[in-house]
Each structure stands twice: as C-alpha cells, then as structure tokens.
Structure 1
Amino acid sequence: MDVHFVCPDGGSPANDDFSVDAHLAGLAALEELGVTWVGVPVPGDPLDRTVEALHRYGEEIIDGY
C-alpha cells in the first residue's frame, strides 16, 4: 500500500523563499510516518513558471534525496 501526503514544509519551489532544508526535514518526518508518495505544490499558470518550479524541485530536492 502506498500512502500519499503533501509536504508544505519549506514552501513552494515556485517562490524565491523556498527552503530546501525545511522541505527535506519535512520529507524525512513524513517518511518516518510511513508516507511513500509526496505531492508538491506548484503554480498552474503561467506554464513557464510551472515548468521552472518543477525543474527547481528536481534539481534541489529529488536529485539530492
């Protein structure tokens, strides 16, 4: 069984004040609780902002996790 949750810690990767350290700490806490899938809040428009946020999340969170 998979468990899905959103990790709001650190804010959105679309914002300049996104905190990688706070987000990673939030992910670790969720992992300890058994969460196996995490949703990430990203803007829906404009499309280039959405793509930029997803790239940032991939580089700063996924690649290092």
Structure 2
Amino acid sequence: MNELKWLKSSHSEASGNACIEFAACDESHIAIRDSVYPRRHFSVGRRAFTSFVTATRSELFHHGSR
C-alpha cells in the first residue's frame, strides 16, 4: 500500500491520544486505524464508510439522548 495521508476524526481528543484516523487507499476504499496502534489498519469500501459516518451523525449513535 502506498504512503497514506491520514486524517483525524473531528470528534477525537484534542491531546491526540484517542483518535480514529482515516485515509483514502484508492478510488474505492478507505483505510481506518486507531492512533494508538498506527501500524494496524483495515479498509472498507467508500459506500460502507459513508454509511457509517452518516449513521454516527444521526440519532443512532447518540447515547442517552432518548
């Protein structure tokens, strides 16, 4: 895999110790990793990643809001 340009989630801690990072692998896949273990990552299709991000922005993941 080529050198990836990792981006941090906007919901990560300011200290940078609890971050989810993501990078475009190619035109159809996104790599995801935990900043604590930067050498370990997995990739998913862009559609799956978009669905995940959309779900996290919805009420589905907002604990205690009901």
**What TM-score, normalized to structure 2?**
0.30
Relative contact order higher in (CA < 8 Å, ≥ 6 apart): 1
**What TM-score, normalized to structure 1?**
0.31
Greater strand proportion: 2
